[in-house]
Amino acid sequence: MSTFFANINELNEFDVFKRAGYRIVEGGEILVRVERIHLGYLFRTFVKGVIQDVVLFEFQRPAEIFVNNWQSWGPARVVGKDFPFSFPIELRKKFGYSASIMPEVYFDNLISDYFMGSDKFLIGALSSRIGHPYLLIDPETVKVKLNLFGRHFADWTEVEKFVVLKGEIDWLLPYYADLVAKENGVELKAKNFVGWSSWYQYFLDFDYQKMMADLDKSKCLGYQVFQIDDGWERDIGDWEPNEKFPALTRIASDIRSYGYVPGIWLAPFSVSETSSISKNHSDWLVKDENGNPKVAYQNWNKNIYALDTTNPEAKEWLRTLFLNLKDAGFGYFKIDFLFAGAIQGKRHDNCTPVEAYIQGLKIIREAVGDSFVLGCGAPLWPSIGFVDGMRIGADTAPFWDPNGPDIGYPNAYYALRNVFTRWFMNGVLWWNDPDCLLLRCEDTQLNDSQRQLYAFTSLLLDNILVQSDNLSYKIDHDLWKRIMTIRSYGKRMVNLKGLMDGQYEITSAGVDGVHKLLVKDLKIPTFRIEFDEERVKLVKKIEKRSDGRTFNYYEEREKLE
Amino acid sequence: MLERRYNILTGEWVIVSAFTQQRPTNPTAECPLCVGGAEFSEPYDLCSFDNRFPSLRIDAPEVISDNELYAKERAQGKCEVVVYTIEHESAMSLMPVHQIEKLIKMWADRYLELSTLPFVKYVFIFENRGAQVGATLPHPHGQLYAFPFIPKRIEAKLTAQARYFDEHGNCALCDVVKREIRNGERIVYENESFIALVPFYARWPYEVHVYPKRHVSSIVELNNEERHLLSKTLKVVTMKYDLLFQQAFPYMMMLFQAPVNDIRYWHAFHFHIEFNPVKRDKDKIKWMASVETGTWAFINPKIPEEAARELRAVEVLK
CB pairs under 8 A between A and B: 120
B69 SS3 class: coil
Q: Half-sphere exposure of B312 toward its Cβ, with a 13 Å CA cutoff? A: 17
**Residue A305: partners with Cβ closer than 8 Å, 6 or more residues away:** A270, A271, A272, A273, A278, A285, A286, A293, A294, A295, A296, A340
B45: domain CATH number is 3.30.428.10
**pLDDT value, residue B21:** 61
Q: Which of B109, B166, B221 sits opposite A493 (nearest CB)?
A: B221
Q: Are A310 and A347 in contact (CB under 8 A)?
A: yes
Q: Record the pTM.
A: 0.96
Active-site hit among B141, B209, B270, B272: B141
What backbone phi and psi angles, to 5 degrees, belong to A77?
-150, 165
Q: Is B71 on the interface with A (CB under 8 A)?
A: no
Q: Which of A38, A510, A536 sits opposite B101 (nearest CB)?
A: A536
DSSP A423: G
Give the residue-averaged pLDDT of A286-303.
Answer: 96
pLDDT, one tens digit per residue, over A238-269 is 999 999 999 999 999 999 999 999 999 999 99
When pLDDT is cut at 50, 70 and 90, the band that residue A3 belongs to is low
Let me know how long chain A is: 561
- Domain spans of chain A, in order of start: 4-183, 194-493
**pLDDT value, residue A464:** 98
Q: Is B43 on the interface with A (CB under 8 A)?
A: no
A395 is catalytic: yes
Question: Is position B171 within any domain?
Answer: yes
Give the residue-averaged pLDDT of A30-44.
Answer: 95
pLDDT, one tens digit per residue, over A166-191 is 999 999 999 999 999 999 999 999 99
AA identity, residue A116: M
Q: Are A71 and A339 in contact (CB under 8 A)?
A: yes
pLDDT, one tens digit per residue, over A54-103 is 999 999 999 999 999 999 999 999 999 988 777 889 889 888 899 999 99
Q: Is B48 on the interface with A (CB under 8 A)?
A: yes
Q: Which of B102, B106, B264 sits opposite A175 (nearest CB)?
A: B264
pLDDT, one tens digit per residue, over B196-217 is 999 999 999 999 999 999 999 9
Residue B269 has pLDDT above 90, yes or no: yes
Name the residue among A388, A391, A382, A452 with its Cα closest to residue A419. Answer: A391
Q: Are B189 and B233 in contact (CB under 8 A)?
A: yes
What is the spatial distance between Cα A462 and Cα B67, in angstroms, rounded to a whole number?
A: 42
User: What b-and-e string marks burial along B144-183, b requiring 16 or more CB atoms within 10 Å of the CB?
Assistant: bbbbbbbeeebeebbeebbebbbeeeebbbbebbeebeee
When pLDDT is cut at 50, 70 and 90, the band that residue A381 belongs to is very high
**Residue A310: partners with Cβ closer than 8 Å, 6 or more residues away:** A347, A348, A349, A351, A356, A359
Check whether the bond before A525 is cis (ω within 30° of 0).
yes
Name the residue among B64, B38, B69, B36 with its Cα closest to residue B52. Answer: B38
Residue A560 has pLDDT above 60, yes or no: no
Is B272 known as a binding-site position? no
What is the spatial distance between Cα A107 and Cα A143, in angstroms, rounded to a whole number?
A: 17
Residue B19 has pLDDT above 90, yes or no: no
Q: Half-sphere exposure of B29 toward its Cβ, with a 13 Å CA cutoff? A: 0
Q: Does domain A194-493 have CATH number 3.20.20.70?
A: yes
Name the residue among A103, A158, A186 with its Cα closest to residue A425. Answer: A186
Inter-chain residue contact A513 with B224, CB threshold 8 Å: yes
What backbone phi and psi angles, to 5 degrees, belong to B68?
-65, -30
What is the spatial distance between Cα B41 and Cα B33, in angstroms, rounded to a whole number?
A: 10
Question: Is position B318 within any domain?
Answer: no
- The CA–CA distances, whole Å, from A515 to A148, A410, A455, A460, A492 equal 45, 29, 14, 8, 10
Is B88 known as a binding-site position? yes
What is the spatial distance between Cα A489 and Cα A538, in angstroms, rounded to a whole number?
A: 10
User: Would the CA dihedral through B199, B203, B209, B212 be positive or negative?
Assistant: negative
Inter-chain residue contact B46 with A553, CB threshold 8 Å: yes
**pLDDT value, residue B286:** 87
Residue B26 has pLDDT above 60, yes or no: no
Of A20-29, A263-272, A425-434, B286-295, which range is least confident? B286-295
ipTM score above 0.90: yes
Inter-chain residue contact A556 with B102, CB threshold 8 Å: yes
Beginning with the edge strand found earlier in the chain, give each strand of the sheet holding B72-73 in spatial order.
Answer: B12-17, B2-7, B72-73
What is the average pLDDT value for chain B, to the nearest integer? 94
What is the spatial distance between Cα A228 and Cα A266, in angstroms, rounded to a whole number?
A: 10
pLDDT, one tens digit per residue, over B99-118 is 999 999 999 999 999 999 99
Question: What is the rounded radius of gyration, in angstroms, for the C-alpha atoms of chain A?
Answer: 24
Which alpha helices (DSSP H) does A81-237 contain, by range? 92-95, 103-106, 169-183, 199-202, 208-217
**pLDDT value, residue A52:** 97
Residue B283 has pLDDT above 70, yes or no: yes
Q: Are A159 and A42 in contact (CB under 8 A)?
A: no
**Residue A560: partners with Cβ closer than 8 Å, 6 or more residues away:** A539
**Residue A548: partners with Cβ closer than 8 Å, 6 or more residues away:** B50
**pLDDT value, residue A14:** 80
Residue A2 has pLDDT above 90, yes or no: no
**pLDDT value, residue A257:** 98
What burial class does residue A334 get, using C-beta atoms within 10 Å of its C-beta: 0-12 exposed, 13-18 middle, 19+ buried? Answer: buried
What is the spatial distance between Cα A101 and Cα A375, in angstroms, rounded to a whole number?
A: 17
User: Would the CA dihedral through B160, B165, B170, B171 be positive or negative?
Assistant: positive
Inter-chain residue contact A493 with B220, CB threshold 8 Å: yes
What is the spatial distance between Cα A495 and Cα A509, in angstroms, rounded to a whole number?
A: 9
What pairs with residue A516 in β-bridges? Answer: A507, A530
Give the residue-averaged pLDDT of A140-147.
Answer: 96
The residue range of the domain holding B97 is 2-313
- Give percent above pLDDT 90 in chain A: 92
Give the residue-averaged pLDDT of A471-500.
Answer: 97
When pLDDT is cut at 50, 70 and 90, the band that residue B29 belongs to is confident
**pLDDT value, residue B196:** 98
Is B174 known as a binding-site position? no
**pLDDT value, residue A268:** 98
Active-site hit among A170, A235, A254, A336: A336
With residue A541 as reference, give the H or E element that holds it: strand A538-544
| Closest chain A residue by Cα to residue B158 | A38
Inter-chain residue contact A551 with B101, CB threshold 8 Å: no
What is the spatial distance between Cα A316 and Cα A314, in angstroms, rounded to a whole number?
A: 5
Q: Is B232 on the interface with A (CB under 8 A)?
A: no
What is the spatial distance between Cα B122 and Cα A202, in angstroms, rounded to a whole number?
A: 46
How many structural domains compose chain B?
1
What is the spatial distance between Cα A408 and Cα A103, in angstroms, rounded to a whole number?
A: 15
pLDDT, one tens digit per residue, over A90-136 is 889 888 899 999 999 999 899 999 999 999 999 999 999 999 999 99
A388 is catalytic: no
**pLDDT value, residue A7:** 76
Beginning with the edge strand found earlier in the chain, give each strand of the sheet holding B272-277 in spatial order.
Answer: A538-544, A550-556, B46-50, B78-83, B141-147, B122-129, B251-256, B272-277, B208-212, B194-197, B187-190
DSSP B261: S
pLDDT, one tens digit per residue, over B131-147 is 888 888 999 999 999 99
AA identity, residue A448: D
Disruptive mutation site among B35, B78, B260, B267 for chain A (greatest number of A CBs within 10 Å): B267
pLDDT, one tens digit per residue, over A308-365 is 999 999 999 999 999 999 999 999 999 999 999 999 999 999 999 999 999 999 999 9
Q: At what angle do helices A312-328 and A353-368 cross, to 10 degrees?
A: 30
Helix-strand-coil percent breakdown of chain A, rounded to 5? 25, 35, 40
Question: Is position B284 within any domain?
Answer: yes
